[in-house]
Structure 1
Amino acid sequence: MSTSDLQLRYSHLVDTIKSRPANAALTSSAAAAVTLFAAWVVSDFRAWKAFGTGGTPPTWSGYWRMTKLRLGRMFSGDDLTDSTGLSSSAGPSYIDGESLPVRDGPRPRIVSRTMPHRQVPYKSGTVAEGVEERTANMAATFAARYPDILELRPSRSEGYSADGIYVRESLPTVNVECRDQRLIGTEVAHAHPAENSLHVWLSEADAKVVVAKGWGQRFPLPGIPRGWIMVYAPRTMEEVDVVERFVEAGIAWVSGVTTVLG
């Protein structure tokens, strides 16, 4: 073996030895990052199940499906609080936009997961006494008030995990748009037990007013009626009164019966 070959092999050996500490540190850092990420995923999965999955099977398969939707939303740039994409002339209007006040304070924080579509629960002491109970019982209250028009049954759109207000399918005036909605059908609204926000089906014209005045936001997924929106959880009895007006407007829209409006 020539001297030049020996020198070349020696240089290669020295370079290899010098690189080992750096490679070891890099490997350790990568392993730590993977471990931390795995721990976060497990924690996020458990939090997703604990908060309610919105009807998605509470399995790893369901979680990954919702995570893909979540990543897609992150890069979409779509602001669900923007009402400009909703048409003020699409459908009749049952909410007087002039008399509807702007909701007080900032909009609530929204849970980062796309589904279930939820807001972060309010801090303790933020909600007035009796508000949560009244909101939780809202579906049953309306169903009892209008038994000829409505029925109370588990919400299919919510994975049967909450009570939904449904217009009776036998009603001759039912909105024809219900025929194309396999998931929602004749559902008007349901409240979410975890934090008392609601999903309500309004005409697109009414949905635009509600979103613009800060009372709710658009639904994040395609294939759902544009008037199907999230309404933020009320904090006071006065806000419950306003939310009930939205539900009444939804009943009128889905049922075709306007006599429910106060």
Structure 2
Amino acid sequence: MSLVSSLGLQPRLEGLVDAVARGYDAHPVLALALLPLVLVPLLLAARAYRGYLALGPGGLPNNVFGWALQASLRPFARETKSTAVYEADGTVWAFPSHGRVSFLWRADLPARSPPVPPEVPDYIAPQRQVTQVGKAPIIAAMDEFLASLADANEGLLAIKGSKLEDHASSALWILDTDAETEAANDRPLADYLQPLVKGELVHVHSEGSSHITLSLADAAKAIGAGWAQRHPLSGVKAFGLPVSYVMLYAPRDKDELEVWKNFVRASVEFTTADWAPKYQPLNLAWSR
């Protein structure tokens, strides 16, 4: 049974077609004049919907309902490439003192080349790049690195299904509870990780881009050097994404993969800075 039939829409659609036909018969010139006003928005909407489907699964359903929902969020969206927000008083006060610290101190951050960033369609979600996409071996190496970090920091980090994307996507998480008893421990999540992120630090998308939470200083560096842009809803309090939640562009080669790894290391150091040194020394897999 088709969706139209199952929802009982068949009689309504037939009635609509009949009404349009009667209107054309009564006022053919007016109907032809109004036709572009009807067709152009429909064609634009159809094109936007096809583009949405082409992005693949994400945090919203990959169907017309998901497309309509992300479109309804557009009034809340913010620009994604300015770094001025990271120096605003309101932003700084919302983060702990080490939010203004760079955790990329062990490695230089080169500018991404070429300077032209990949194309990222302006859908609210999912946020993906459609040019300069990553190759399968590089994407596999990204997932392997996240797994190596979790293995090297057992009890502190773990690989679990993403809750911000489709659950099939694996993500690196902070463990803020005892893994065996599920009891709360002395490693509370920072406030900026609470509302929506809930300890999910980084996840990798199918085309090689990734979402990650960085310090304010490192988010500004990542965007300024051309490696990233914010999520459209980052910093919007109603949705709970930190303002330093950014999309890192897909690494295109082994050198860019190393830059990406350094961002992940910086994220782990930043988000555990309050308590990780007291709990256990971090192993950031520098040999990987």
TM-score by length of 1: 0.76
2:238 equivalent to 1:215: no
The answer (yes or no) to whether the contact 2:55–2:128 under 8 Å persists in 1 is no
> Shift of the alpha carbon at 1:175?
5.8
**Which residue identity does 1:107 align to in structure 2?**
P
CA displacement 1:161-211 (0-9 Å, x = unmatched):
411100111376646425762321111100111x11010111112111111
Moved more, 129-138 or 250-259: 129-138
Q: 1:214 to 1:180 in 2, by over 3 A?
A: closer
Q: 1:157 to 1:129 in 2, by over 3 A?
A: closer
For 1:166 and 1:98, how far apart are their aligned partners in 2?
23
2:8 maps to what in 1?
none
Q: 1:28 to 1:244 in 2, by over 3 A?
A: same
Q: Out of 185, 192, 217, which is 2:205 matched to?
A: 192
> Shift of the alpha carbon at 1:253?
1.7
2:182 maps to what in 1?
none
The answer (yes or no) to whether the contact 1:66–1:114 under 8 Å persists in 2 is yes
1:8 maps to what in 2?
none
For 1:130 and 1:67, how far apart are their aligned partners in 2?
34
> Shift of the alpha carbon at 1:250?
0.8
> Shift of the alpha carbon at 1:36?
5.0
Q: 1:42 to 1:128 in 2, by over 3 A?
A: closer
Q: Out of 200, 204, 218, which is 2:216 matched to?
A: 204
> Shift of the alpha carbon at 1:109?
1.1
For 2:157 and 2:38, how far apart are their aligned partners in 1?
52
Matches within 5 A, 1:1-262: 24-70=28-74, 73=77, 78-87=78-87, 90-96=99-105, 99-105=108-114, 106-122=116-132, 130-170=137-177, 174=187, 176-178=189-191, 181-193=194-206, 195-221=207-233, 222-223=236-237, 224-256=241-273, 257=276, 259-261=282-284, 262=286
**Which residue identity does 1:197 align to in structure 2?**
S
The answer (yes or no) to whether the contact 1:174–1:254 under 8 Å persists in 2 is no
> Shift of the alpha carbon at 1:39?
4.5
The answer (yes or no) to whether the contact 1:56–1:62 under 8 Å persists in 2 is yes
Structure with greater Cα Rg: 1
DSSP 3-state at the match of 1:28: helix
For 1:191 and 1:203, how far apart are their aligned partners in 2?
19
Q: How many residues align?
A: 233
CA-atom RMSD, angstroms? 3.0
Structure 2 gaps of 5+ residues are 1-23, 179-184
CA displacement 1:55-105 (0-9 Å, x = unmatched):
1133433321211334664xxxx5411112113873432113982111111
Structure 1 gaps of 5+ residues are 1-19
**Which residue identity does 1:167 align to in structure 2?**
I
